[in-house]
Amino acid sequence: MKKQNILPISTLIVLLGGQTIINREIRHDFDLIEIAKEGLPKQALDCLAKQISFSNKEMADILNISERTIQRYREDQRLDKDASAKLIRLAKLYELGQETFGSLERFNGWMHSHVPALGGKRPTELLDTSLGYEIIERELIYIEHGLFS
């Protein structure tokens, strides 16, 4: 069975703070699982939050941890496995969105706007559940194929 590469590796690494912070080569999705198990450094969370214009409160809601917990982390301290996996999933979503919309800024604008196909909700409101991610990912596929629902 051939290992499937993820789309584009460099974008995901940049979203999570670059090679210096990740400090690991990402060749396929299984590497992401290992990174999540080891835990991402808090620097990766800060870098992603800054690039996608999310506050600590928004990140805390998405990661299902308290804002105070995020504030207590040292820069080099590692997040737990679940928070790391959620952070990777968020970065992968933004990677897909950047590819679909052509730029991170345009996708971020869409994420923060009220989308009729999502019942008038902002996509950012759906990021606290895996079903929310699936709905957003499906919408991105529709947009990519020119099918606006």
| 129-135 mean pLDDT | 96
Amino acid making up residue 82? D
State yes or no: pLDDT of 43 exceeds 70.
yes
The token duo for 137 is: 């990912």
State yes or no: pLDDT of 5 exceeds 70.
no
| 136-146 mean pLDDT | 93
State yes or no: pLDDT of 39 exceeds 80.
yes
Cα(66)–Cα(71) distance, integer angstroms? 9
State yes or no: pLDDT of 141 exceeds 50.
yes
What was the pLDDT predicted at 9?
52
| Whole-number average pLDDT of the chain | 90
User: What is the pTM assigned to this prediction?
Assistant: 0.89
pLDDT, one tens digit per residue, over 80-90 is: 999 999 999 99
Q: What proportion of the chain, given as a percentage, has pLDDT over 70?
A: 92
SS (H, E, C) the chain: CCCCCCCCHHHHHHHCCCHHHHCCCCCCHHHHHHHHHHCCEHHHHHHHHHHCCCCHHHHHHHHCCCHHHHHHCCCCCECCHHHHHHHHHHHHHHHHHHHHHCCHHHHHHHHCCCCHHHCCCCHHHHCCCHHHHHHHHHHHHHHHCCCCC
Q: Residue 98 in contact with residue 11, Cβ under 8 Å?
A: yes
| 102-125 mean pLDDT | 95
